[in-house]
């Protein structure tokens, strides 16, 4: 589907994703800052490029580590061009989508004391400052559907979670999360975060304040949504 972030109820269905090889569905999508291409991760670890106009997918590789969990999210780290993968089981991976090589990073955990690992229920992840300038700093934010919180994952490779605030809404269902970067030339100068929270009844779009954690409802989608990816460099 494609939609305006001010009117999710007006979302238009493009087509059903087609062309999977060894996977049955996509569990997360994100635009890669390095090339501007939309990528998707399949439920059995296949990495695909996605044609946003036709909804056709093309296999480009496969993770070298099996996925663990029921819900996932993915986002490219714009500074090192690696795909971050988190799951509700506490899994924390980073992958080179060009060759599939996947690093198992520290399980998601609280910084304590006491340190609790793994932390389950995290199923939303997004980096700030998505631009093609590798010198731009970036921060990884996650959403916990267990505690209904926004958390900073830092260091990202260690999986340490630091809460910023509560969402103010129930995120116990599926979570999709993305952060749009406003650019000045080719450099990110601001960010705006959006999340989709899904229940058996509806998927709803929210704006998310990253510093306070507060989520503000924008509206409901006409059908269920698994994840969202905002195209870069709009306007």
Assess contact for 210 and 153: CB atoms under 8 A.
Answer: no
Residue 179, domain member (yes or no): yes
At residue 111, the pLDDT reads 84
d(C-alpha 220, C-alpha 10), whole Å: 9
Is 0.85 surpassed by the pTM of this model? yes
The 10 Å Cβ neighbour count of residue 66 is 9
Residue 194 neighbours by CB distance under 10 Å: 20
Q: What local confidence, expressed as pLDDT, does residue 235 receive?
A: 61
Instruction: Please identify every stretch of the chain with a pLDDT value under 50, giving residue numbers as ranges.
Output: none
Q: Could you give the CA distance from residue 66 to residue 173 in angstroms, rounded to a whole number?
A: 23
Dihedral angle of Cα 98, 99, 100, 104, to the nearest 10 degrees:
-100
Q: What is the pLDDT of residues 9-55, one digit of tens each?
A: 999 998 899 999 999 999 999 999 999 999 999 999 999 999 999 99
Residue span of the structural domain in which 165 resides: 65-220
**Number of separate domains in the chain:** 1
Q: Decide if 123 is inside a domain.
A: yes
Q: Closest Cα to residue 210, out of 195, 199, 223?
A: 195
Is 126 contained in some domain?
yes
pLDDT value of residue 173: 79
Q: Rounded to whole angstroms, how far apart are CA atoms 204 and 122?
A: 18
| Whether the Cβ atoms of residue 99 and residue 34 lie closer than 8 Å to each other | no
Give yes or no for a cis peptide into 113 (omega within 30° of 0).
Answer: yes
In a domain, 174, yes or no: yes
Whether residue 154 lies inside any domain: the answer is: yes
Residue 167 covered by a domain = yes
pLDDT at 233: 75
Alpha-carbon distance of 184 to 39, in angstroms, equals: 25
């Amino acid at each position: 589907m494609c939609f305006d972030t001010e009117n999710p109820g007006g979302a238009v269905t493009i087509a059903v994703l087609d062309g999977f090889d060894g996977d049955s569905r996509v569990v997360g999508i994100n635009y890669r800052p390095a090339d501007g291409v939309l990528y998707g991760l399949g439920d059995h670890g296949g990495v695909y490029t996605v044609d946003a106009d036709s909804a056709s997918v093309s296999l480009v590789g496969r993770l070298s580590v099996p996925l663990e969990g029921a819900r996932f999210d993915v986002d490219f780290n714009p500074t090192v061009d690696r795909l971050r993968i988190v799951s509700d089981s506490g899994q924390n991976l980073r992958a080179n989508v060009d060759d599939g090589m996947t690093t198992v990073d520290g399980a998601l955990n609280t910084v304590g004391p006491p340190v609790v690992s793994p932390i389950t229920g995290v199923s939303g992840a997004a980096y700030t400052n998505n631009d093609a300038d590798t010198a731009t700093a970036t921060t990884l934010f996650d959403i916990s559907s267990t505690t209904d919180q926004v958390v900073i994952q830092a260091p990202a490779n260690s999986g340490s979670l630091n809460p910023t605030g509560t969402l103010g809404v129930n995120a116990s269902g599926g979570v999709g999360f993305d952060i749009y970067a406003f650019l000045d030339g080719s450099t990110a100068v601001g960010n705006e975060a959006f999340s989709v929270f899904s229940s058996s009844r509806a998927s709803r779009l929210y704006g998310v304040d990253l510093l306070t954690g507060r989520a503000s409802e924008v509206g409901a989608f006409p059908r269920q949504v698994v994840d969202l990816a905002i195209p870069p460099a709009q306007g």
